[in-house]
């Protein structure tokens, strides 16, 4: 995702949190069962279902190839992110801030947990991947610089010649005032060690957040189960806006 898409996604998250705390929406006990409330709820449920399709598309090779491989999955991932954020927003509007039953409270909590865990985890993973890519490029450059320094390192000068060169530098300090001293191989080796340590640390963090995405998938499955139970409950007790 580009910077513009990230800003839009973070704006949706802020809206989701504000709606969760009851801002912008006054309590409407009869709204969830009305025609408008039901339409918003159905739209939110369909968007959350669309968001769920990303996981099988990504895991099953035949479906991945059908959607154009990695390039096609990027488009599907963007749809997954926006659908996974807009769906819970519509779901919160659908509730009308009516939290009277355990199923509704659990469904609302799972919507928030799934949306926030998915996007925040994905955002952090993308940032870690960028840092890893930059560190590896830096490591490649430092390694090449280190090899060049070792190849171009001059042999030690005789003592008399070195002393003469030293006196010359003392007598004409302006001759090398603007010259850039090449780094010592030990300095480059220390920088390489630091970058390798950073790569290991970022790799450990990335592995931890991959487990975080597993938690997100488990939350998504639980959300779909509760959503299906909610739909069955609504159909079982009837829709108030349907003509008798």
Is the model's pLDDT at 124 over the cut of 70? Answer: yes
pTM over 0.75: no
**What is the reported pLDDT for 72?**
67
Of 45-54, 131-140, 235-244, minimum mean pLDDT range: 235-244
**What is the reported pLDDT for 46?**
92
Indicate the average pLDDT of the chain. 76
**What is the reported pLDDT for 67?**
62
Q: Would you tell me how many other CB atoms lie within 10 Å of the CB of residue 174?
A: 6
- Of 97, 109, 119, give the one whose Cα is nearest residue 30: 97
Per-residue pLDDT tens digits for 128-157: 888 888 888 888 888 888 787 777 765 444
Number of Cα atoms under 13 Å in the Cβ half of residue 203: 8
Per-residue pLDDT tens digits for 55-69: 777 777 666 666 666
pLDDT-derived band at 43 (thresholds 50, 70, 90) equals very high
Is the model's pLDDT at 174 over the cut of 50? Answer: no
pLDDT-derived band at 185 (thresholds 50, 70, 90) equals confident
Q: Would you tell me how many other CB atoms lie within 10 Å of the CB of residue 37?
A: 20
d(CA 91, CA 125): 27
| Helices 102-152, 69-95: crossing angle, 10 deg rounding | 150
User: Mean pLDDT highest for which of 169-178, 198-207, 231-240?
Assistant: 198-207
């Amino acid at each position: 995702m580009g910077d513009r898409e990230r800003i839009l996604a973070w704006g949706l998250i802020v809206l989701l949190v504000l709606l969760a705390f009851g801002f912008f929406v006054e309590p409407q006990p009869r709204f969830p069962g009305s025609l408008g409330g039901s339409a918003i709820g159905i739209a939110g449920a369909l968007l959350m279902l669309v968001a769920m399709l990303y996981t099988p598309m990504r895991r099953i090779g035949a479906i991945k190839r059908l959607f154009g491989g990695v390039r096609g999955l990027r488009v599907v991932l963007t749809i997954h992110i926006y659908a996974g954020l807009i769906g819970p927003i519509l779901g919160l509007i659908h509730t009308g801030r009516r939290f009277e039953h355990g199923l509704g409270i659990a469904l609302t909590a799972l919507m928030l947990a799934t949306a926030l865990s998915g996007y925040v985890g994905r955002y952090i993973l993308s940032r870690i991947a960028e840092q890893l890519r930059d560190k590896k490029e830096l490591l490649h450059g430092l390694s090449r610089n280190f090899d060049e320094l070792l190849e171009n390192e001059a042999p030690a000068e005789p003592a008399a010649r070195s002393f003469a060169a030293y006196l010359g530098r003392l007598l004409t300090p302006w001759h090398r005032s603007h010259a850039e001293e090449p780094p010592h191989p030990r300095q480059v080796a220390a920088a390489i060690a630091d970058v390798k340590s950073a790569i290991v640390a970022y790799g450990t963090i990335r592995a931890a957040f991959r487990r975080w995405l597993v938690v997100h998938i488990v939350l998504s499955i639980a959300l779909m189960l509760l959503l299906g139970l909610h739909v069955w409950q609504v159909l079982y007790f009837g829709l108030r806006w349907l003509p008798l």
